[in-house]
């Protein structure tokens, strides 16, 4: 159930970008919440990676026959890492000088749309993970 709760938490943060991106002063709003989203994105990328490693080591140790649950947890970890990287992408661009700083802020609205759409998919997936954790009685 912790996998589902963590993916829902990061998807709520990503969906907020989609809602802010629809405002008339979207660039200013996204610049204001950006530093918080970057840090939260990096945090959830790390959490997703740790959950994936923990899942893999547990799967090897126990040799579980719950294949659908194993696939569910794998997709959850990958989705959480991808969504965390999407949230942290402007910070990654700035640190590694992938784009110029002025071009980065022009693309914030398009990035907010991608974050929002991925966040909605992650929200639906998180609900499935919580339901599956009850079905397979794990966690």
For 72-88, write each residue's pLDDT tens digit. Answer: 888 998 999 988 888 88
pLDDT at site 23: 78
Exposed/middle/buried for residue 33 (C-beta within 10 Å: 0-12, 13-18, 19+): middle
Largest CA distance in the chain: 53
Higher pLDDT, 101 or 23: 23
| Mean pLDDT value of segment 99-116 | 66
pLDDT at site 97: 65
| Whether the Cβ atoms of residue 38 and residue 17 lie closer than 8 Å to each other | no
């Amino acid at each position: 159930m912790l996998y589902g709760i963590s993916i829902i938490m990061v998807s709520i943060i990503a969906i907020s970008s989609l809602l802010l991106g629809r405002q008339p002063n979207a660039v200013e709003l996204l610049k204001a919440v950006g530093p918080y989203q970057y840090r939260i994105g990096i945090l959830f990328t790390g959490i997703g990676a740790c959950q994936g490693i923990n899942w893999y080591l547990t799967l090897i140790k126990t040799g579980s026959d719950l294949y659908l649950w194993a696939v569910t947890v794998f997709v959850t970890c990958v989705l959480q890492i991808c969504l965390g990287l999407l949230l942290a992408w402007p910070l990654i661009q700035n640190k590694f000088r992938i784009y110029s700083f002025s071009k980065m802020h022009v693309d914030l609205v398009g990035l907010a749309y991608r974050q929002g759409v991925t966040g909605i998919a992650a929200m639906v997936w998180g609900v499935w993970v919580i339901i599956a954790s009850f079905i397979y009685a794990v966690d």
